[in-house]
Amino acid sequence: MLSSKSIQRLVTATSITRSSTKASLVIPVEQRRSVHTKDVYVKPGTAHSPTLHFKRKHWNPLYKKERGDRVVKVDLDEDPKDLNELTPQEIRMMMKVRGLHPFRPWNERPINLSCTPSIFEPYVPPEFDGKLSIVSKDGAKQKFEVMGKKGKTYLAVKKITAYDEDFDMKVFVDEAQNIYRKAHQAIADEDEELLHDLVTERAFPIVTHETKNKTIRWQFIESVEAPRAVHARASEVISKDNIFAQITVRLHTKQTLAVYDRFGRLMHGSEVIAKDVLEYVVFEKFISNTNGLWRIHDKIIPDWMPKKPASLRTVRLSLEETAKPPEDEEVQNETASAV
Amino acid sequence: MNYTRTLLSSIVKGSRSVYAGGSYSESAFATTRQPQCLPWRAGTHVSQLHASALLSASGDPIYSKYDPDVSVFHRHNLKKYPPLEPGEAPRHAFVCHEKRNIRYYPKKMQVVAKFIRGMTIDDAINQLKFCPMKGAVDVLETILEAQKMAVEEHNVEFPSNLWVSESFCLPDQVIKTMRRHSKARVGIIRHRFVHYCCTLEEGKPPKHYYHDTRPLEPHEHIQQWLKEKRERHVPLSI
């Protein structure tokens, strides 16, 4: 494999200067054509040889310039530059030279705020939640956050009920799990229109990243524990009447996920092996808007959660990654994030 | 050249050439290679290749929506195949890549393109590094880019496990300029441009790229000889 430097050297085409009359047969890199790498032996008698170049000169150097002027020179855009690498001033000059008008769209589109860019105050899940059973000593000690009569969560829920009278947390939590299921099914079915109703604009690109040209088969088997709302926040964005509400729901479910690549080969997961998935999913709704819907906004992945399972294929690490000392291998539990 | 028209016509009619129309594509790709080499061209070359289990109806690819930003050749990269059934033979990954508007002569570029046909990617890279043609630089660049794409986007595990299954060039525009001669005569200089396209496939290359013109094995020679002798016609015989 060529290094990036040698590729750059190969790619930049340098022309042979006419005044290169070196005695040695190995031509230095600066004067060499881009094809050859650094230490290539150039056979004598080839076009690069100075002796043959001498033979190609016209016998009368007097009218050299006029002879050259016989050819009508045209600027062919042989190496078009990548527009992404040019500065705006350079692009402007290029367009001016070619007599092209700049692109000036005079129509102004209104900005539509339909979701927030992040989670307001992220919920911090208790450590090793879901790994310890309630029956054990450590599990019993673990505190569960009960939605009491005070605190920010309670105030947020109060605000939500102010805008939405029929709001009930127990009903909402089941609804949230349904939205979660439908959203995953929509990703698997590549139904982007439906997905927009189930997932916010911020989450949409994250959720559909690297799903093109792949077949995803996802199945929801059962919920290990009932879904529970653990956190809620409501806050204004820009103006005082614009209120967005975010509720974090703890979902402990059993799922199967199988991802096939473009050619139908299994890339990740399995259709048969089910995995327990513990997730803290943030649902958001634009409550001051009557057309607001509860949609998936983000997922909270705590540090103590085990990493994704190893992929089915080997991946080459870069040199920097191999220099680092290997991390201690933890015993991988069944609990893992699905997608 | 109207690349859009030829792609659509190939889907509709199932015609041979999927690349830019005209005489170039028809003659250049009249290769009759074994079907294992080109399972992904099932829809296009069925008439020429003998039927095999790989060309089943259930294994047909799904063409994605038409995207004007994606070139005709790159559209092959958007073909999606359904997941493999338990009994099905494995499907090899392939990547199509091209480099457009290279300032080089198609005739000279063809030499380089034909050179690396059927080579493993490592061989191709090593040979192109020392190829004295100017087009070898562009071909090498294309191949390296395609290899990178294969590993990153198309789920190819080992970058060395690729071979050059298709390597061809297509002529592009010609810009004509003048060269003045004595007595008000004009010589026309043609500045030629060329596109280079390559397909990398996963796996080992076939032993002989051109199946029809391969050197025959001894037992195949005997079969051929027998066939010729049996087909002899003696005129006016009983």
Give the nearest partner residue to B131 out of A35, A72, A217, using CB atoms.
Answer: A35
| Residue-wise burial string across A69-102, b where 16 or more C-beta atoms lie within 10 A, e elsewhere | eeeeeeeeeeeeeeeeeeeeeeeeeeeeeeeeee
What pLDDT score was predicted for residue A252? 94
CA distance B228 to chain A (A): 43
What pLDDT score was predicted for residue B36? 41
CB-based contact A249:A283 (threshold 8 Å): yes
Instruction: Compute the distance between CA of residue A214 and CA of residue B64 in angstroms, rounded to an integer.
Output: 12
Q: Which residues of A touch B91 (CB under 8 A)?
A: 263-265
Three-class SS string for B5-17?
HHHHHHHHHCCCC
What pLDDT score was predicted for residue B105? 96
CB contact under 8 A, B130 and A265: no
Closest CA to A301 of A266, A335, A267: A335
Spell out which chain A residues touch chain B, with contact meaning CB-CB distance below 8 angstroms.
1-2, 7, 10-11, 13, 33-37, 40, 46, 70-74, 76, 78-80, 212-215, 217, 258, 260-267, 313-314, 316
What residue type is assigned to position A143 of the chain? K
**CB contact set of A142 (below 8 Å; sequence gap of 6+):** A126, A128, A129, A132
CA distance A169 to chain B (A): 41
Which residue ranges of chain A lie beneath pLDDT 50?
A: 1, 6, 8, 10-25, 27, 29, 32-40, 329-339
What pLDDT score was predicted for residue A61? 85
Q: Which residues of A touch B130 (CB under 8 A)?
A: 36-37, 40
For the record, the structure tokens of A195 come out as 């997905």
Q: What is the pTM of this model?
A: 0.73
| DSSP secondary structure string for all residues of B55-120 | G-GGG--B-----TTS-TTGGGGG-B-PPPPTTSPPPPPEEEEEEEEESS-HHHHHHHHHHTTT-B
Backbone angles phi, psi at B177, to 5 degrees: -130, 175
**CB contact set of A275 (below 8 Å; sequence gap of 6+):** A254, A255, A256, A257, A334, A336, A338
Mutate to test the interface with B, among A1, A82, A263 (most CBs of B within 10 A): A263
Closest-CA residue of A relative to B189 is: A71
What pLDDT score was predicted for residue B173? 92
For the record, the structure tokens of A307 come out as 């990493």
Give the nearest partner residue to B178 out of A7, A36, A72, using CB atoms.
Answer: A72
HSE of B112 in the Cβ direction (CA atoms, 13 Å)?
A: 31
The CA distances from residue A197 to A171, A180, A183, A201, A285, in Å, are 19, 12, 9, 9, 11
What pLDDT score was predicted for residue B226? 97
Which residue ranges of chain B lie beneath pLDDT 70?
A: 1-59
CB-based contact A80:B101 (threshold 8 Å): yes
What pLDDT score was predicted for residue A4? 56
Q: What number of C-beta contacts closer than 8 Å exist between A and B?
A: 99
Q: Which residues of B touch A45 (CB under 8 A)?
A: none
For the record, the structure tokens of B36 come out as 């294992």
Say how far residue A190 (Cα) sits from the centre of its chain: 18
Backbone angles phi, psi at B219, to 5 degrees: -70, -30
What pLDDT score was predicted for residue A19? 37
Closest CA to B195 of B37, B72, B30, B17: B72
CB-based contact B198:B166 (threshold 8 Å): yes
CB contact under 8 A, B134 and A13: yes
Instruction: Compute the distance between CA of residue B155 and CA of residue A73 in angstroms, rounded to an integer.
Output: 47
What pLDDT score was predicted for residue A331? 44
